[in-house]
Amino acid sequence: MGQLAVPLAKLLGAGRVVAAAGSPEKAAFLRALGADEVISYGRESWGEPVDVVVDAVGGGLLPRLVAALAPGGRLVAYSSGGGTVQAHDLLAGGKSLIGFQMARLARTRAADYTAWRDELWALRAAGRLRPAIHARVPLAEAAEAHAIIERRENLGKVVLVP
């Protein structure tokens, strides 16, 4: 999902887009997608604070993500990775935490969901948003598709072809 978040942030006018990645290959991929900076999770300092964090990882990374926010900043959590945030870490900087799930939006705010989806399709049709496909794998070899994702090799989508 991060491969779409980076160009979308640029298209929507974000001044500085900082992407986080775990390997040099993914860092180069994110730079090519328009990230102004790419940080490695393991690095001690993540640089200047940001106004919005969009988190696909969760778990033990959450406290660092909250710390990476500037005062008044927002953390949007959409991963399946769980994790815990201390309320004090939010109130001290006037920060907020927002949960986001597309499937729930589709059910509970169908009109908004449709409008936002149409906006994305229009960007895609105009060639301004181009989802990257890492590999196309025959459905019969679905295990290999899973293995690619488990090895964290994929730069973009792994598509199963029926």
Ligand X SMILES: NC(=O)c1ccc[n+]([C@@H]2O[C@H](COP(=O)([O-])OP(=O)(O)OC[C@H]3O[C@@H](n4cnc5c(N)ncnc54)[C@H](OP(=O)(O)O)[C@@H]3O)[C@@H](O)[C@H]2O)c1
Binding site for ligand X (CB under 6 A): 1-2, 21-23, 26, 56-57, 78-81, 100-102, 149, 152, 154
Helix H or strand E encompassing 159 = strand 157-161
Tally of CB atoms within 10 A around 28: 13
- CA separation for the pair 55, 65 (Å, rounded): 8
Distances (CA, A) of 52 to 41, 75, 92, 106: 17, 6, 17, 23
CB of residue 56 to ligand X, shortest distance in Å: 4
CB of residue 81 to ligand X, shortest distance in Å: 6
The nearer residue to ligand X, 1 or 11, going by C-beta atoms, is 1
CB of residue 25 to ligand X, shortest distance in Å: 9
The nearer residue to ligand X, 16 or 152, going by C-beta atoms, is 152
